[in-house]
Amino acid sequence: MTQPTPDAAAATPFTTLSSHAAFGGRQLFLQHASTEIGLPMKLSVYLPPQAEQGPVPALVYLAGLTCNEETFMVKAGAQRLAAELGLALIAPDTSPRGPAAESLEGATASWDFGIGAGFYLDATQEPWRTHWRMESYLMRELLPLLRRHQPIAGDRIGLFGHSMGGHGALTLALRHPGVFGSLSAFAPICAPTQCPWGEKAFTGYLGPDRGAWAEHDATVLMENQPIAPYPGGILIDQGLADKFLADQLHPHLFESACQAIGQPLTLRRHAGYDHGYYFIQTFMEDHLRHHASALQR
């Protein structure tokens, strides 16, 4: 692909950790110093071959618990079709990293989340509030930087994610209307105020006030929408052999909220599929085509 000019390279905030040819495009692994997080942050970017000719639509993927910026690009098998469709793929890390973040592991006696579990919100409680600012990082820092320094069309960005990242995709899309042109999720945490994962994370990050929790619950947010925010439809895939389905995910609650306000939702339930990346690989093409049809109009 075309290399940046010396002036452009000097101006970019991103350091390229590695670059790989893939399906006629480039798979990049990047790092930058985040002002919102206060620590270095990593991300991965796949640029399709069409990016050599100008800005292309982009999909932001939010990964789940225990994952990082490499998980999606290595496991999801999305680059081949993204190259065909002319879509850039962007996958940020799931939480702060490094010694300053790792020193907080175990800071709360009952806390078993932390590294890799940012939940895509801004923590308000100590000791997390200083660095765990994933919502501000994504919306106020990373997306503007990507618009300025990568060949993506800033007005044609879609959002999707898996599990905790599915929660992040649904909630950020609803909390920031007009930013994302398309939305989908794999096995998302749909009602975190009503599941053990969400209750534990929200207590740690946001404190005991359940009113604050509701602001980051996709089902509650959808219930409170004045009109359908995505008239073109939202796509969710859920495996019926997913061991987390009954206790943690609750897609039926989000489905009911969508029905109540007339939000088109395609919620597909698949017998035999679990929570992992073989499930995601199986239905990745449908999600990429869902976003492409909305972003390339």
Q: Residues 34, 44, 95, 163: which is the catalytic one?
A: 163
Cβ contact 187:167 at 8 Å: no
Q: Which residues contact 201 (CB under 8 A, 6 or more apart)?
A: 113, 117, 119, 192
Comparing CA positions, the residue from 73, 62, 295 lying closest to residue 187 is 62
Q: Residues 95, 242, 250, 290: which is the catalytic one?
A: 242
Q: Residues 275, 287, 290, 291: which is the catalytic one?
A: 275
Cβ-based burial of 8 (10 A; exposed 0-12, middle 13-18, buried ≥19): exposed
Residues 41 and 146: their CA atoms lie apart, in Å, by 13
Tokens at residue 218, please?
A: 């996709």
Tokens at residue 52, please?
A: 């050599």
Told to judge if 287 belongs to the known catalytic residues of this protein, a careful annotator would answer no
Told to judge if 242 belongs to the known catalytic residues of this protein, a careful annotator would answer yes
Q: What is the residue type of 43?
A: L
Element housing 211 (H / E): helix 210-214
Comparing CA positions, the residue from 66, 68, 55 lying closest to residue 29 is 68
Residues classed as catalytic: 163, 242, 275
